[in-house]
């Protein structure tokens, strides 16, 4: 068996999600190959070759891969798919855009957001907002899989010495074209990669009040997140949203401030190593998953916490 991992990257470097996906691929058994489809992506390919456990890196370099358009990357995957027993990508917007196209063209069922590999043909994935685990056994010749990165440790970024092979790039499909990209710039860590996250909910009350969390995040070097209720209320941007319909995170420390703990939010953060909840409602569901809970007014508790941090 040989598994192919679709690398998520920006041409200059790999995204952390790729390392987690390599771990899942290795657990499927057999060799692990990584496909880097990009434009002038030699630096990303070099990083892929150093990942522990990777035996070969395939590089498809062409201008129409520069922006990771799913239609083009999917065609490249299909051109290389024949020898592979497993094709995996991270369950990010990137992977979720590519692999359904691959699965449809291969006429197989995609297995989405796995959190564990039980056997080469059997996988676990959360359902019902994480309240149950489904065991999925596939008889398809090729397993097409997206990987929930919080379920797997990241493969070591160094220690590998994989061979790099240049493959023929498929032609531009012409089905889509890159128009523009608006990237939110922040001095804070990326939400899905952050070790510490300070997250606020509807209990914060307003966009202005969210500023009370900023000194706490600054003290801890943390990323800032939010519940869907806070995002829907317009307090913060969409890319801060943590939860089933937002970003799935599992930091070392997650501080939930003014978040009641709706099931959809818990699905996105309950795998965090340590959870601290601050809420004035002692019956709030967030306390059911919290390691430490503080019942009190967040506008009093947070400044006191900042003060104690010095």
Q: Is 180 assigned a ligand-binding role in the annotation? A: no
Q: What stretch(es) of the chain map to CATH 3.40.50.620? A: 2-166
Q: What stretch(es) of the chain map to CATH 3.40.50.1220? A: 191-309
Q: Is 264 assigned a ligand-binding role in the annotation? A: yes
What single-letter DSSP state applies at residue 247?
B
2-166 folds as Rossmann fold (3.40.50)
Helix (H, G, I), strand (E, B) or coil at 287: helix
The answer to whether 56 touches 35, Cβ cutoff 8 Å, is no
What single-letter DSSP state applies at residue 262?
-
Q: Is 30 assigned a ligand-binding role in the annotation? A: no
Q: Is 19 assigned a ligand-binding role in the annotation? A: no
Q: Is 262 assigned a ligand-binding role in the annotation? A: yes
Helix (H, G, I), strand (E, B) or coil at 85: coil
Strand order of the β-sheet with 196-200 is 223-226, 196-200, 253-257, 274-279, 292-295
Nearest to 24 by CA among 170, 147, 182, 177: 147
Q: Is 110 assigned a ligand-binding role in the annotation? A: no
Q: Is 234 assigned a ligand-binding role in the annotation? A: no
Return the HEC string of 47-83. HHHHCCCCCEEEEEECHHHCCCCHHHHHHHHHHHCCC
Query: Percentage of residues in the chain with pLDDT exceeding 90?
Result: 87
Per-residue tokens: 224? 């800032």
Helical axes 70-80 vs 93-106, angle rounded to 10°: 50
Q: Is 249 assigned a ligand-binding role in the annotation? A: no
Q: Which CATH class is domain 191-309?
A: alpha beta
pLDDT digits (tens, 9 = 90+) for 24-71: 999 999 999 999 999 999 999 999 999 999 999 999 999 999 999 999
Sign, CA dihedral 274-275-278-282, equals negative
Q: Is 227 assigned a ligand-binding role in the annotation? A: yes
The answer to whether 139 touches 121, Cβ cutoff 8 Å, is yes
pLDDT digits (tens, 9 = 90+) for 169-189: 999 998 888 898 877 677 888
DSSP letters, 172-213, are P--S-----------SSPPGGG-SEEEEE-GGG-STGGGGGG
- pLDDT-derived band of residue 310, with 50, 70 and 90 as boundaries? confident
Nearest to 260 by CA among 248, 272, 243: 243
pLDDT digits (tens, 9 = 90+) for 63-100: 999 999 999 999 999 999 999 999 999 999 999 999 99
pLDDT digits (tens, 9 = 90+) for 259-280: 999 999 999 999 899 999 999 9
Q: Is 97 assigned a ligand-binding role in the annotation? A: no
How far apart, in whole angstroms, are the C-alpha atoms of residue 134 and residue 243?
19
Helix (H, G, I), strand (E, B) or coil at 94: helix
Q: Is 112 assigned a ligand-binding role in the annotation? A: no
Do strands 163-166 and 223-226 pair parallel, antiparallel, or not at all (unpaired)?
unpaired
Q: Is 202 assigned a ligand-binding role in the annotation? A: yes
How far apart, in whole angstroms, are the C-alpha atoms of residue 79 and residue 171?
11
Contacts of 228 (CB under 8 A, 6+ apart): 241, 243, 245, 246, 262, 264, 265
* Element housing 215 (H / E): helix 214-220
Identify the pLDDT of residue 245. Answer: 87
Do strands 116-119 and 122-127 pair parallel, antiparallel, or not at all (unpaired)?
antiparallel
The answer to whether 79 touches 170, Cβ cutoff 8 Å, is yes
C-alpha 278, offset from chain centre = 26
Identify the pLDDT of residue 46. Answer: 96
Q: Is 95 assigned a ligand-binding role in the annotation? A: no
* Element housing 100 (H / E): helix 93-106
């Amino acid at each position: 068996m040989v598994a192919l991992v679709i690398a998520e990257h920006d041409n200059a470097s790999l995204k952390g999600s790729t390392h987690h996906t390599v771990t899942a691929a290795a657990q499927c058994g057999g060799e692990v190959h990584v496909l880097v489809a990009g434009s002038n992506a030699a630096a990303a390919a070099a990083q892929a070759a150093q990942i522990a456990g990777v035996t070969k890196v395939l590089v498809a370099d062409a201008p129409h891969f520069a922006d990771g358009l799913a239609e083009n990357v999917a065609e490249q995957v299909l051109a290389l798919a024949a020898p592979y027993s497993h094709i995996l990508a991270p369950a990010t917007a990137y992977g979720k855009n590519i692999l359904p196209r691959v699965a449809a063209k291969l006429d197989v069922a995609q297995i989405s957001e796995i959190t564990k590999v039980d056997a080469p043909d059997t996988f676990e994935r959360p359902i019902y907002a994480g309240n149950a685990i489904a065991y999925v056994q596939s008889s398809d010749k090729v397993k097409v899989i997206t990987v929930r990165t919080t379920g797997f440790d990241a493969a070591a970024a160094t220690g590998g010495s994989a061979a790099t092979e240049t493959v023929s790039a498929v032609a531009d499909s012409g089905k889509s074209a890159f128009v523009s990209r608006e990237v939110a710039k922040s001095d804070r860590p990326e939400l899905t990669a952050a070790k510490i996250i300070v997250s606020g909910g509807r209990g914060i009350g307003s966009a202005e009040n969210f500023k009370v969390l900023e000194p706490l995040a600054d003290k801890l070097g943390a990323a800032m997140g939010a519940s869907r209720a806070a995002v829907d209320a317009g307090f913060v941007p969409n890319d801060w949203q943590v939860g089933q319909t937002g970003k799935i995170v599992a930091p070392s420390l997650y501080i939930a401030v003014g978040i009641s703990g709706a099931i959809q939010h818990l699905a996105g953060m309950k795998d965090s190593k340590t959870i601290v909840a601050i809420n004035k409602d002692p019956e709030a569901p967030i306390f059911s998953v919290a390691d430490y809970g503080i019942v009190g007014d967040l506008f009093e508790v947070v400044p006191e916490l900042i003060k104690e941090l010095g």
